[in-house]
Structure 1
Amino acid sequence: MNEIPEAGGVRGAANPFINGEDDAGGWASPVPPGHPAAALLTGHAVRTRCAAVTDHVAAGASELFTWHPERIPAVADYVAATIRQRYPDLNVPYHSRWRHFESGGPGEKLDRWQILCERGGLSGEADREERARIGIDLVIPSVLLDAGAGPDWRYRDPASDLSLTRSEGLGVASFDLFARGGFSAQPGQPLRSDAERLMRIDASSIATAFQVAQHNPLVGLDGRARLLRRLGEVAQATPAVFGSPARLGNLFDYLKAHASSGQIEAGFVLTTLLVALGPVWPGRVSLDGVSLGDCWHHPACTDGLVPFHKLTQWLTYSLLEPLEDAGLTVTGLEVLTGLPEYRNGGLLFDFELMVPRDPGFTAVAHTVDEPVIVEWRALTVTGLDLVAASVREALGLSAESFPLARVLEGGTWAAGRRIAAKRRPGGPPPFAINSDGTVF
């Protein structure tokens, strides 16, 4: 079984690796103390290693891309204009899965979460902690189901009778599945995600819930079902975090127990998720027997490894609201990085912040492990930090009041979709990446 580490000496510390047994017992950690993989399971590792790749490209040493930081101001102006258009008062929420749950139509929002809580009698002050557990129950499987849907998939939303696509469609489809009790193993308690039920989910269940048909194909269907089954298996094997019987929402109690004066660091949340849920991801690159998840090879780093942890960081961003709703304050958001995916990365590519040396790069589909994709993603992480700083300057806001989580939402992700729609019919990304539903 997996032992999830406590914060070493300081509750809420950013690197929660244990030296000894957890209070719940002595499970064998997937990342033992002192293991070399530990250094790669942090936001700091993502940022510093992506910076090393960027330095490599900026020095002209790359055969794949050239780097053009002089174009940062143009990107920042476009993003700042997008933010002002979408949020004139600059009151921008966090970039998270919760935005997709609000999808109702052009310029409209439908507060499905509030409706769900009201129907369940969970809107009162006394319900805050259970509401947080339910929010976590909802958002973890939803994020795992959030890889790119493909250009041909649609979800007919029963609440609005609209046809939703992409992340909005995936978000609402997973919300509806959750609300119907699709992840619950407890009769009469639909609003929960239990390991027992997750372990039984198959591709057919996902296909039915997501309205998949021959004329409505969903990319990576089998991979999504495998991820959910594996999520159930890992949660069941990790009672230190998810309890026994295992429920995803019990993560709230684990994080609350490791908070100090009601505060918990974003880095602690991220690393907890990376360690606790690391075994969920397909084994690709491993280090001394530990699968590194969304981590890939690039020669610019001394050990040749560049982590991104895109979906786990997306999950961390998506946990901020349920944790804060329950009264916890999440500090140190600056540790989290931008998400290197096809909207953020597509924005920077379309503005030619990075330019491929191969003129035929956009003409063929790529795989996620290709060095050119690894390099593009690393440049995206660094580029987003630079753009964020320029955006804040343009808006007259500080990093404290306008963290990267708000820049992304306002923001680079929306601007990436906006520029794609202007440049290509239907708004696809500038190049294609073959997805198995577990990274993009």
Structure 2
Amino acid sequence: MASREELKRMACEAIDKNREKVIEIGDSIFAEPELGYKEFKTAEKVKKAMDEIGLKYESEVAITGIVAPLKGKKSNARLAVMGELDAVVAPEHRCADKITGAAHSCGHNCMIAALMGVAYAFQNTGIMEELSGDIVLMAVPAEEYVEIEYRNELKKQGKIHFLGGKQEFIKLGAMDDIDMMIMQHSTPNDARGLCGIPNAGNNGFMGKLIRYIGKEAHSGGAPHLGINALNAATLGLTAVHMQRETFQDKDSIRVHPIITKGGDLVNVVPADVRIETYIRGANMEAIIDADKKVSRAFKAGGDAVGAETVITDLPGYLPMNLNYDLMDIMYENMIDLFGKDKVEYEGAHMSGSTDAGDVSYIMPTMQSRIFGITGVGHSSNYEISDKELAYIGAAKCLAMTAIDLLYGEAEKAIEVKANFKPLMTKEEYLKVWGKL
């Protein structure tokens, strides 16, 4: 039996051997971004790469998702390694889709590159025959919680239940036989010259659709006969802003609405105005408190002008439940790969959100952060500046951590699972969060 360190060396060598392929798929996805539940070209690229190495998979999981299991010599534990397929909207980015405005300004292409690096590390290398657990590679759709109205229509049509891809994986049973999940997320470089952080907390949030229904009239000839829904929205948004001083810093509350429809014609009193927003926060108690204030504020806008206010609440993402056992293992591998001075154990709380938080309520979960990016996330200047770090280094960190978890009799994985106390069972999650 090969030693743990020998297996890690073999895995890293396999990733290096396939370095150009890893970079190629990362760059190809970067060049052709797609939004959530629409990642058809991206999924085809992943399937083609898996086909080339004979990796069997299930496709069209949650519309575009892919699940590819790798069997160990025993199945004492099952570890999911995830990457995300979708892009965000940044229409001014040099690689933005000209029609949709989608751009990979959040590094999800790096996730898929790293995921394929893990596939190259374990498929056809003999390493799985040395491990006492299974690895399940998952390319997951729709992490970015965007186009809320569109996704809500998919939900009404019965095509999805949740607006987020990992949430939908939970609902569909793709996580039922999984014991724990690891993944990584690319992050912009900072002045300290760091290469990685094992994990960091994230806000959770609730999604919200607000529709103001007024009454049409000629805006120049007889505006007094109408009810201006845009005025209702203006008042509602102002009332939301008036709530901000009541949000406590410790709760990291973020409310950031956009108007997705402001009326129909300039010479008609707006009678159909629509808003999308999140209510983000570091804990569910604070999110629920802020949500009540925001709902009250939006309703006040409609009441003030006599418009009807229709508010639709949607389950967003849960705050990240940090797993320090997994963080410890990833930390040691980052040190081995990058050097101790290049790794910070735990970064500052992130006010952004991820549906990895939902997984973390049910099973041990880790989303490490790997640097190698310049620019600002979700913006037009986001670029992959260090592919050796963002693609190759990320893949090696994930593969090495998987080996640590599943080596021997998979004692580490078994220990991590035994130490974990779920905040929700799947059944509780679907009942409490899925039917918000």
Higher Cα Rg, which structure? 2
Which protein has the bigger helix share?
1
Give the TM-score range, shorter chain: under 0.3
| Greater relative contact order (Cα < 8 A, sep 6+) | 1
State the TM-score, normalized to the length of structure 2.
Answer: 0.27
State the TM-score, normalized to the length of structure 1.
Answer: 0.27
